[in-house]
Amino acid sequence: MTTTHSHLDEELQLLKTDTLNMWKLVRQQVEKGKEALIQHDKDLARQVVAVERRVNAYELKIDRDCENIFALFTPVAIDLRFVLAALKINSNLERIGDIAEGIARFVIDIDKQFDPELLKVARIVEMFDMSNAMLLDAAQAYEQEDTRLARTLFKKDEKLDEVNNEASYVITDYIKSHPDNIRESLHILSMIRKLERVGDQTKNIAEEIIFYIEAKVLKHKEPNK
């Protein structure tokens, strides 16, 4: 029995390591998306698109590993919650990878440098930085089993929502005074919508971390209150 449990512990640690490696890759994808946008670096944007295949490969591997743990060890209590959370976090991270790829494709689609004034008024670089900071905090909360840190992410997501909610008005005003830049303005608006979803996915991850550590389900509640 002890040998079986030590094998389970090893498998859970490997699962955690793989998930954190995927996390790091996804964070790099978001960061490269930001740099590609600021520098209008189409080669870097194409690299993000190409690396998305690695993110997908990680997702498939982690899914298989979770299935194997269920089949071979039938985990219970916190071990079971950890594997269930890992499955959902894996899915959230894969979606964030998709979002980074989508942003990179918007950069590839525009032939000129994005207007720095547009980037500034839209607060998109700020959104990138907030999104990546949330991803980093979530990874730390997961690695260190820190539910206090996980709970700080709900408030941070509200800041992303705030920028997203203002974006339509800000970009409409920008278009009125820059009618030649409609296409790039709409691309920036689409990127902002995508970054808002990064916040949502990271908030979902925070809920899963709290679920597996404290056995609390936060869906459909107000976790920041």
Q: How many structural domains are present in the chain?
A: 1
Residue 219 counted as domain residue: no
Residue with tokens 């996804």: 26
The rounded distance, in Å, linking the Cα atoms of 223 and 142 is: 17
Residue 225 counted as domain residue: no
Residue 95 counted as domain residue: yes
List the CATH number of the domain containing 57: 1.20.58.220
Radius of gyration of the chain (CA): 19
CA distances (Å), 75 to each of 78, 90, 216, 225, in order?
8, 18, 18, 32
Residue 176 counted as domain residue: yes
The rounded distance, in Å, linking the Cα atoms of 58 and 166 is: 35
> Which range of residues forms the domain containing residue 206?
2-214
Q: What does the DSSP assignment read for 165-209?
A: HHHHHHHHHHHHH-GGGHHHHHHHHHHHHHHHHHHHHHHHHHHHH
Residue 105 counted as domain residue: yes
The rounded distance, in Å, linking the Cα atoms of 208 and 201 is: 11
Residue 11 counted as domain residue: yes
The rounded distance, in Å, linking the Cα atoms of 88 and 6 is: 24
Whole-number pLDDT of residue 221: 60
Phi, psi of 215 (to 5 degrees): 60, 35
Whole-number pLDDT of residue 225: 40
CB 49 within 8 Å of CB 104:
yes
Angle, CA 193 vertex, CA 21 and CA 44 arms, to 5°: 50
Residue 221 counted as domain residue: no
Q: What is the pLDDT along the chain (225 residues), one digit of tens a residue?
A: 456 678 999 999 999 999 999 999 999 999 999 999 999 999 999 999 999 999 999 999 999 999 999 999 999 999 999 999 999 999 999 999 999 999 999 999 999 999 999 999 999 999 999 999 999 999 999 999 999 999 999 999 999 999 999 999 999 999 999 999 999 999 999 999 999 999 999 999 999 999 999 998 776 565 444
Residue with tokens 């909360």: 141
Whole-number pLDDT of residue 1: 43
